[in-house]
Every structure is written in C-alpha cells, then in structure tokens.
C-alpha cells in the first residue's frame, strides 16, 4: 500500500475575518474531496486571516495512481483564482517503509 500526503500553504485574497476565511477555505476543501475522493482538512495557520495550510492525504495500491492524485490536487489548488499557492510539501511512501 502507498500512503501519500500533501501540505499546501495558501495566501487568501481580500479576507479580514475568520468568517470570511472560512467562506474561502470551505469550498476549496469541498472541491478537493469531491474531485479527487481524498481526505482533506485545514491543518495550519488556523488563527490567521489571510493564510492557511490545507492537507491532503490518500492511500493507494498503486504508486503511479497516488502520485497522479497528488499532482491533480496541486494543480487544482494552483488554478483557483481566490487563493495563491505559496508552497507545497508532499511525500509518498510505501506502508512497509513506515515501520
């Protein structure tokens, strides 16, 4: 089994409250879940208005499939007009390597 994750740091547009931030982040998270059928959550900078870190996690039987899903997640985030993708960290490992 392959385990993959991606952490994307995002800069949000004209956001001045945490409520406005939720209105931007919630659709991003929902789109990733719906489009890719992966686990997604806001995992960092939860107390800042204009920044966030979105985490994507997945498991797959096939390395190429997992890598392609992580690529698609990164492209989806980069293509959103309401956020700027600042950085991406990603990792893909075999479950045997986690021991």
DSSP letter string over 7-68?
A: EEEEEESS--SHHHHHHHHHHHHHHHHHHH--EEEEEE-TT-SSEEEEEEEEEES-HHHHHH
Residue recorded with tokens 């059928």: 37
What would the pLDDT profile of 3-31 be if each residue is shown by its tens digit? Answer: 999 999 999 988 999 999 999 999 999 99
What would the pLDDT profile of 57-86 be if each residue is shown by its tens digit? Answer: 999 999 999 999 999 999 999 999 999 999
Q: Is pLDDT at 39 greater than 90 in this prediction?
A: yes
| Banded pLDDT at 99 (limits 50, 70, 90) | low
Q: What is the pLDDT of residue 97?
A: 78
């Amino acid at each position: 089994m392959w385990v993959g994750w991606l952490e994307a740091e995002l800069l949000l547009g004209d956001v001045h409250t945490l409520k406005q931030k939720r209105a931007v982040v919630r659709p991003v998270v929902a789109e990733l879940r719906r489009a890719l059928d992966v686990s997604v959550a806001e995992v960092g900078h939860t107390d800042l208005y204009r920044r966030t870190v979105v985490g994507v996690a997945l498991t797959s039987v096939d390395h190429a499939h997992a890598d392609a899903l992580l690529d698609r997640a990164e492209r989806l985030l980069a293509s959103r007009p309401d956020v700027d993708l600042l950085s991406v960290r990603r990792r893909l490992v075999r479950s045997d390597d986690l021991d």
